[in-house]
Amino acid sequence: MELPDDGRIAVLQRSASGGRLNVLDGIGPAIWRAANGTTLDDLVSVVTTELGEPPDGADAAQLVGAAVDELRAGGMLADEPGWRIDPRTAWTGGAGRTVVLGLADLQAQPLALEGSANAVWQVLAEHGAVAQGQLLREVADGYDVQPDGIEADVVALLEGLREKRVVDYC
């Protein structure tokens, strides 16, 4: 793999006790830029496309997997997807219904979210950014069902809202 001289990324992590500055180099910046909602196989593809194949016949999947594990252990990558409302979204709600409009798309039409779709939106609005597992648990609690029983439907809703540019991975 050919590594760029200046391709480093500085990541500042905030915590209750202060902050920590991490500098990513090597294949770290390519992984960091592509990580949102991306599978490990897709990350391997991104890294090898951007930087080339690893030298000496090393296994790209192993190298990327190890780097992802290191970023996760350092708290810089989550173990599960996270979701947030796109900051270019306007919404208003009341009486069990939220109307959202993606301002990034000039052709966008307002979307009315009711029922469980509104419940998903309310969790997103309350947290700003939320891990998918937590979002599923909170919505499931509101309907007295198990999170795994609603996961496929909620993820499909979120992906649809992402296509409409009103939510995104975080």
In a domain, 3, yes or no: no
Rounded to an integer, the average pLDDT of 124-137 is 94
Q: Of 73, 102, 119, which one is at a domain's C-terminal end?
A: 73
Angstrom distances, CA of residue 109 to CA of 85, 97, 166 = 17, 16, 11
Q: What is the CATH number of the domain that holds 123?
A: 1.10.10
Residues 87, 63 within the same domain: no
- In this prediction, residue 53 carries a pLDDT of 92
Mean pLDDT of the chain: 90
Look up the domain containing 105 and give its range.
82-169
Which long-range contacts link 13-17 to residues 24+ away (Cβ below 8 Å)? Answer: 13/75, 13/76
Asked if 117 and 135 touch (Cβ cutoff 8 Å), the reply is no
Q: What is the pLDDT of residues 86-106, one digit of tens each?
A: 999 999 987 899 999 999 989
In eight-state DSSP terms, residue 145 is -
138/96 same-domain check: yes
